[in-house]
Structure 1
Amino acid sequence: MSLHVFLYGEPVLSTLTPPLADPSAPAGGARAPRRRTRMRALPEVRWAAAATACFLPALPLHLTGQPAWLWGPLYALAYVTGGWEPGWEGLKALAGRTLDVDLLMVVAALGAAAIGQVMDGALLIVIFATSGALEALATARTADSVRGLLDLAPATASRPAPDGSEQAVPVEELAVGDTILVRPGERVGADGRVLDGASEVDQATITGEPLPVAKEPGDEVFAGTVNGTGALRVRVERDASDSVIARIVRMVEEASETKAPTQLFVEKVEQRYSLGMVAATLAVFLVPLVFGEELTASLLRAMTFMIVASPCAVVLATMPPLLSAIANAGRHGVLVKSAVVMERLGQVDAVALDKTGTLTEGVPRVTDVRPLPGSGLGERELTMLAAAAEHPSEHPLARALVTAARERGLPLPPARDFESTPGMGVTATVDGLRVTVGAPGRLLGDDVMGGARTAAGPGGLGEGEDAGPAQSVDANARLLDGVDVGAAQAAATPGDVLGVPADPAAAHAAALAAELEESGRTAVLVVVDGAPVGLLGLADRLRPDAAATVASLAALTGRTPVLLTGDNPRAAEHLAAEAGIEDVGAGLLPQDKVGAVTALERAGRKVMVVGDGVNDAPALAAAHTGVAMGRAGSDLALETADAVIVRDELATVPAVIALSRRARRLVVQNLVLAGVFIAGLVAWDLAGTLPLPLGVAGHEGSTVLVGLNGLRLLREAAWTRAAHLGP
């Protein structure tokens, strides 16, 4: 057991956040009760609860002067229930030739009781027992979360048999080369490649992409991702033990095990301090005996020395500022899991941010409405037709279109004869018009869109190269140069420029789609009765406080944060430019994010990673400090992270770093103050005769003094100053 104080448990989190959805949990929320049952079964929790239950009623009886037979047995039970486990662990450590503060504190508590300070000793025991219980509880939760990640992948998969029937086989029995069937709404059972069928797969758990990805024959799919409305036949390409989701589990476990342990200052010196204190106490007891002093007087001097020299004052000098900072941060929506984490936050000098759900809101929204000239439609009519056709769909883009129509107060006529084609789009009859909404590449043809994308770059930008938004606008202006855009009467010139046969409306639509894509948008084409009539651009919107947060983090750390995302480079770079980030890593899988964090740490940086998804968990575990976004964060990210931004207010990240730095300064002040008191009392006891009551008063007085100094961080002004990055 160490002196970490964890303020992270199920009751605390449940009071601050709404229930966190777990897509792998069965109906009824069976997973959470299992976790709570496991935590209640921890012996450390039971013993700490028993010690506290004995101490609390004994304290008022003792302080009000009641007979000792009322409170004495309760104190004794508190000593036994709370002290036997750290004492036993300390003895085992002693057998291994290690002396730690745990055993020293138990001895000090027993020594205090031996000279009449029963309450002080019992309080020390309760503090240690509770600390150890909370640490064990937090450790069990983290282990549970890592194991629970495997639940993302289904236990069985449907494998067709030679006779045409289907078998439900455990995923562990699937071999490379097997074929499995994935029905609409099911999770993919293994990493593999699509053989037949088309669908859209939500693979945010692996890549962090905000929107489902269209899958066709030849495309790769990952175990644990969620299939959309189409059916897929998939050839297995990796064993279950080597799937991406299994590798994420291993990376989290390995990073957690190999992460360099960071301890509070007092714990770094506890071994030497403990040995020195024991040796000094024995010397204080034995040396006077050699020179003829009475046994009782020598023992009293030695016990007084142990009390005044005990590290309790140093421990409490360290903890109040950190715990006060934790409490203050908690009031403002930042759940810091331990005093050690609060101390580490102040050491951060580099920050890596996830994109989807961290810098952005994680929900696509309509950003552009572009009716085609000559279509006869305005922005409102185009939005209404697209939203009405998409209304029956459950696709995230459909929800974004419907939301945009409702925000504009538009009526949604009923959609009839609704059809959804995975990877293509939807078609429905709205007010007698046959409306199709889908991907421009599928509706116009990949050749038309390919030509438009090529022409959209500056000077004929090649495939795979990027142009900025301003460049793409200029390129499209050149593309349509000489065309009567207002009437969309370009004759054959657009087709000539694009290099493919195309009618003017299709060429114009392709050019606008390329422009939207170059600016980081997802382009959606609307076709009415077979003719393109307009496009809508959708994007995951930057959080309102993202740019200010990036600037604050750069001011604190002396380095602009980096962006690490699984999203495509074009969208990532566009959003990074909006947020003020220059260093971008895009298209990254979980292991790539870990590699980027490790590279920064090899360069001597203490890296904070801020993320929210399963794909961010390995990087959160590998970083010096991991911070998870609380509202949409996955269970694994919340458990792996060292701190949780409960209300998803990104601006609290730099504020909590500044608060941690102030807490660290108060810790140094308190350690100096406690050291002066201890040195003075010890010198008095050695040079003269320090009365025991005066020694206890001096020791406890120094503890109270440094405690009050640390409690200054509880004030609202401390957070306000930190939020403005003040000292």
Structure 2
Amino acid sequence: MTQCCGDHARGKPSADRQDVQDRHDHDHDHDHDHDHGAVTGQLSRFRIEQMDCPTEESLIRGRLGKLPEVQRLEFNLLKRVLGVWHAGLREATIRDAIAELGMCAEPMAATTTRIAIAQMDCPTEERLITDKLGGMPGITALQFNLMQRVLTLGHDPEALQPALQAIRELGFTPRVATTGEPAPQMAPTSGKSIKLALAGVAAIAAEVLHFADLAPEWLVALIALAAVLLSGVDVYKKGWIALKNRNLNINALMSIAVTGAILIGQWPEAAMVMFLFAVAELIEAKSLDRARNAIGGLLELAPETATVRQPDGTWQSTPVAEVALGSQVRVRPGERIGLDGEVLVGQSSVNQASITGESLPVEKAVGDALFAGTLNGDGALEYRVTAEPSNSTLARIIQAVEQAQGMRAPTQRFVDRFSRLYTPAVVLLSLAVALLPPLFDGQWVEWIYRALVLLVVACPCALVISTPVSIVSGLAAAARKGILIKGGAYLENGRHLSHLALDKTGTLTYGKPQLTDQHLLVDADPESVISLALSLAVRSDHPVSQAIARHGENQPLRDVEEFAALAGRGVRGRIDGQLLHLGNHRLVEELGLCSPELEARLDVLEREGKSVVLLCDEQRPLALFAVADTLKPSSREAIRELHALGVSTLMLSGDNAHTAAAIGRQAGIDEARGELLPSDKLAAIEALLGKSGSVGMVGDGINDAPALARADIGFAMAAIGSDTAIETADVAIMDDDLRKIPAFVRLSRQTAAVLKQNIALALGIKAVFLLVTLTGHATLWMAVFADMGVSLLVVLNGMRLLRK
């Protein structure tokens, strides 16, 4: 990776990047690309100082054109600005690709607006909006989140109001939304339900009267027309809007089919088809709401108010949104914690399952972190607020999941492209069925009827809705387990994980040295000798000394005189007139107190990855203490599970080679490497990328960020990880439990299986029904059942991923 323009670590999927003035300039500049108008992806804009002539443009086109995620390139050579339309491509990947050409790409600021559209919850509305806004000036990007009913619009400032008006012209009610607010809900009215019930009665009556020949044809037609109007006015309105915008969605196709049935005298069937379609639409909307609520429920975890300490010492209930950073908050037993914070007073157990996925409550004491949305146990706590409500761990989870929903997964992008070809093809087939066979047998009414049935079958709603429902269900299921996945692409790609590299400190180990061995080297009172060591250790800020001090924090200490730190070696001090040293192997050798026997003993411990310090008086070593960053019990189990899934493991550590090898053996890792710089870790990841399958990297520190960014999937240990590592990673493990990674791989494989099942269901049943229709054995109402029934099947199948 070539570094340029300062450090760049890839973060969460960024918003569409643009430069407003440059877009206007671009309109007068030359754009060699063949595709104009907005693209349903992301737009990232970069300033490239070295790009000012067609030579550089050609180089960049040749390099970025090889990336499958790139949809379109826009060049403004006068302003040296490149616009890259892409499907969820990493910003760092674009920068690296351009850096390989000897040029530096600097990201430019973005202007985006979140628009809530209550009526937008399926690909039908998405296609309408895309076609309407795609050609409008000033619109730079469209990113749809159907599950949350939110459109993220990239635009010039003056283009927002025209865009909102254009959406209103489609019969929708757009509203500028804020990040993290609940999805807009369709307000069900009792009037609609009554109309639908009356339509059902009328449709059934028309069918019975017609088949039993109990009424004249004009009365049957009148009752059927009433059923159509009661259940289908909204369908006709939407269908007319779609046709005006040259869009053949399900509403347009259904309107044509019902009208065609009426024109050829099939009144009862037209009524039944429109009624069944309205009922199926209602059931599908309810089913989608269940999947949508899997994410929306996160918003309800945090309480609306918190009990805040006032300047005069009193406590007052305050809206969470108004609580200032650094405020002192009290939470009673059984209450939900309203904001992220650090415990100041009290001790309690806290149920963190909503954030970390941990099944058991976690004990909290002074200094421990608290998360908004978690449930306090049986003790009262007072804590200091460490994050604003909009930046709490819970808020960031919700925001990341919402952004992830908006990113198209590979299967979803394939389905979107396929559906754009599929629908026109079936419509042309329907026209051919209506016009060609009657030329030979003269059965116009019969073949027109079959063509109308084909029109109903033609809509690819089941196919298109199958992927986002499955992806969102997978993302929600992962969030419940404490696994925050930042995009459907990463969820889907997880099944290909074949190599996983892991940092050591804080990832496989606790990241905090602990005392593992203590041995008395002389015949003396053990408690007395250990007390001497503790009295020196507590006065040192070295991690090894601190580990010894923590181990004996409740034991009595001695007074120390003439205390001094010995850089790189240890400490010394005088206790009861006796000069003592507490230090490492090097200090013992400098004091001339090392022996062959002691040397051999130290060598054994150091080969086990332990740091050894000794307590010495002026004549001899008195005691030996070994400290190590110990392996988490869950790490060994996680490695076993990964190996069972066919994932090979590699540890990349900056620690010494002996320590790395020792931890690697304890964890059961395939290969362990030590003494690595960040650039070495990056090189190791790049070497793995040439092999089969996907490459993952797990880390928690700033030094892991380059490797996390370069890996196909970066995993961050979010509880103790640095902000840089968390922002750079694609998947955040909220409780630092490595066992979540094999769980992620299994979930990815389950999601992929469900996606394949849904596509097979949607296409298979459509294909069968097309054949049945062409042979004349299908009716319009059967077509409705086939189309909407498959939609319901794929929705319910996708929601299986939500099961615990």
**Into which bin does the TM-score normalised by the smaller protein fall?**
0.5 to 0.7
- Within 2, Cα distance between the matches of 1:296 and 1:107? 24
Post-superposition CA distance 1:273-332 (Å, at most 9, x none) = 422322332442476368699999999987864553333312343455544444333333
Residue 172 of structure 1: aligned partner: none
Residue 517 of structure 2: aligned partner: 368
Contact 1:372/1:509, CA 8 A, preserved across alignment: no
* Residues 118-267 of structure 1 mapped to structure 2, 5 A cutoff: 263-267=409-413
Residue 565 of structure 2: aligned partner: 420
Alignment of 1:572 with 2:660, yes or no, is: yes
- Within 2, Cα distance between the matches of 1:710 and 1:628? 27
User: Which of residues 690, 696, 721 in structure 2 aligns to 1:633?
Assistant: 721
Contact 1:363/1:540, CA 8 A, preserved across alignment: yes
Contact 1:612/1:634, CA 8 A, preserved across alignment: yes
Name the % identity. Answer: 29
- Within 2, Cα distance between the matches of 1:630 and 1:63? 47
- Within 2, Cα distance between the matches of 1:580 and 1:365? 21
Q: 1:548 to 1:278 in 2, by over 3 A?
A: same
Q: 1:339 to 1:304 in 2, by over 3 A?
A: farther
Alignment of 1:441 with 2:586, yes or no, is: yes
SS of 2:548's partner is helix
Post-superposition CA distance 1:55-81 (Å, at most 9, x none) = 522577644649999x9999999999x
Alignment of 1:669 with 2:799, yes or no, is: no
Structure 1 unaligned spans of 5+: 5-37, 92-102, 135-260, 449-501, 717-727
Post-superposition CA distance 1:192-226 (Å, at most 9, x none) = xxxxxxxxxxxxxxxxxxxxxxxxxxxxxxxxxxx
Post-superposition CA distance 1:99-141 (Å, at most 9, x none) = xxxx97x9456666887778988989x989x99xx9xxxxxxx
* Residues 429-508 of structure 1 mapped to structure 2, 5 A cutoff: 429-430=574-575, 433-442=578-587, 444-445=589-590, 502-503=592-593
Counterpart AA for 1:284 = S
Counterpart AA for 1:264 = P
More off after superposition, 341-350 vs 43-52: 43-52
Residue 319 of structure 2: aligned partner: none
Deviation at 1:586, TM superposition (A): 1.8
Deviation at 1:417, TM superposition (A): 5.0
SS of 2:755's partner is helix
- Within 1, Cα distance between the matches of 2:560 and 2:667? 39
Q: 1:279 to 1:530 in 2, by over 3 A?
A: same
Residue 389 of structure 1: aligned partner: 536
Counterpart AA for 2:482 = G
Residue 461 of structure 1: aligned partner: none
Contact 1:522/1:539, CA 8 A, preserved across alignment: yes
Q: 1:296 to 1:621 in 2, by over 3 A?
A: farther
Residue 552 of structure 1: aligned partner: 641
Residue 535 of structure 1: aligned partner: 624
- Within 1, Cα distance between the matches of 2:232 and 2:565? 76
Q: 1:75 to 1:44 in 2, by over 3 A?
A: farther
SS of 2:510's partner is strand
User: Which of residues 43, 59, 75 in structure 1 aligns to 2:113?
Assistant: 43
SS of 1:704's partner is helix
User: Which of residues 746, 762, 785 in structure 2 aligns to 1:697?
Assistant: 785
Counterpart AA for 1:545 = S
Post-superposition CA distance 1:501-526 (Å, at most 9, x none) = x45x5665555433322221112232
Residue 486 of structure 2: aligned partner: 337
- Within 1, Cα distance between the matches of 2:239 and 2:709? 37
User: Which of residues 707, 719, 724 in structure 2 aligns to 1:619?
Assistant: 707
Q: 1:681 to 1:606 in 2, by over 3 A?
A: same
Number of residue equivalences: 474
- Within 2, Cα distance between the matches of 1:419 and 1:76? 87
* Residues 244-323 of structure 1 mapped to structure 2, 5 A cutoff: 263-285=409-431, 288=434, 305=454, 308-323=457-472
Structure 2 unaligned spans of 5+: 1-38, 43-108, 118-148, 151-173, 176-181, 200-228, 259-273, 296-406
Q: 1:587 to 1:111 in 2, by over 3 A?
A: farther
Q: 1:62 to 1:653 in 2, by over 3 A?
A: same
More off after superposition, 411-420 vs 516-525: 411-420
- Within 1, Cα distance between the matches of 2:479 and 2:183? 26
Deviation at 1:443, TM superposition (A): 5.1
Q: 1:368 to 1:683 in 2, by over 3 A?
A: same
Counterpart AA for 2:430 = V
User: Which of residues 640, 657, 660 in structure 1 aligns to 2:748?
Assistant: 660
Residue 508 of structure 2: aligned partner: 359
Counterpart AA for 1:624 = D
Residue 32 of structure 1: aligned partner: none
User: Which of residues 53, 57, 65 in structure 1 aligns to 2:187?
Assistant: 57
Contact 1:361/1:542, CA 8 A, preserved across alignment: yes
- Within 2, Cα distance between the matches of 1:610 and 1:507? 41
Deviation at 1:588, TM superposition (A): 1.9
Contact 1:427/1:435, CA 8 A, preserved across alignment: yes
User: Which of residues 680, 689, 695 in structure 1 aligns to 2:768?
Assistant: 680
Q: 1:538 to 1:303 in 2, by over 3 A?
A: farther
SS of 1:563's partner is strand
SS of 1:276's partner is helix
Deviation at 1:424, TM superposition (A): 3.4
Counterpart AA for 2:556 = P
User: Which of residues 552, 555, 559 in structure 2 aligns to 1:405?
Assistant: 552
Deviation at 1:366, TM superposition (A): 0.8
- Within 1, Cα distance between the matches of 2:477 and 2:595? 58
Contact 2:502/2:698, CA 8 A, preserved across alignment: yes
Residue 801 of structure 2: aligned partner: 713
Alignment of 1:525 with 2:614, yes or no, is: yes
Using CA pairs under 8 Å that are at least 6 residues apart, name the structure with larger relative contact order, 1 or 2. 1
Alignment of 1:350 with 2:499, yes or no, is: yes
- Within 2, Cα distance between the matches of 1:77 and 1:43? 28
Residue 195 of structure 1: aligned partner: none
Q: 1:694 to 1:521 in 2, by over 3 A?
A: same
Deviation at 1:623, TM superposition (A): 2.3
Deviation at 1:541, TM superposition (A): 0.3
Deviation at 1:368, TM superposition (A): 1.4
Post-superposition CA distance 1:473-514 (Å, at most 9, x none) = xxxxxxxxxxxxxxxxxxxxxxxxxxxxx45x5665555433
- Within 2, Cα distance between the matches of 1:328 and 1:711? 10
Deviation at 1:334, TM superposition (A): 2.2
Contact 2:531/2:557, CA 8 A, preserved across alignment: yes
Contact 2:409/2:487, CA 8 A, preserved across alignment: no
- Within 1, Cα distance between the matches of 2:785 and 2:628? 64
Contact 1:525/1:536, CA 8 A, preserved across alignment: yes
- Within 1, Cα distance between the matches of 2:606 and 2:238? 67
Residue 365 of structure 2: aligned partner: none
Counterpart AA for 1:695 = A
- Within 1, Cα distance between the matches of 2:796 and 2:780? 24
SS of 1:44's partner is strand
TM (norm. structure 2) is: 0.50
Q: 1:710 to 1:72 in 2, by over 3 A?
A: closer
- Within 1, Cα distance between the matches of 2:558 and 2:500? 48
Residue 89 of structure 2: aligned partner: none
- Within 2, Cα distance between the matches of 1:113 and 1:398? 79
Deviation at 1:53, TM superposition (A): 6.4
SS of 1:43's partner is strand
- Within 2, Cα distance between the matches of 1:61 and 1:416? 87
Post-superposition CA distance 1:374-400 (Å, at most 9, x none) = 5x352x444433332232443322321
Q: 1:72 to 1:425 in 2, by over 3 A?
A: farther
Post-superposition CA distance 1:160-219 (Å, at most 9, x none) = xxxxxxxxxxxxxxxxxxxxxxxxxxxxxxxxxxxxxxxxxxxxxxxxxxxxxxxxxxxx
Contact 2:116/2:183, CA 8 A, preserved across alignment: no
Select the structure that is richer in helix. 1
SS of 1:541's partner is coil
More off after superposition, 516-525 vs 284-293: 284-293
TM (norm. structure 1) is: 0.55
Q: CA RMSD in A?
A: 4.8
Contact 1:321/1:663, CA 8 A, preserved across alignment: yes
SS of 1:366's partner is strand
Deviation at 1:702, TM superposition (A): 1.4
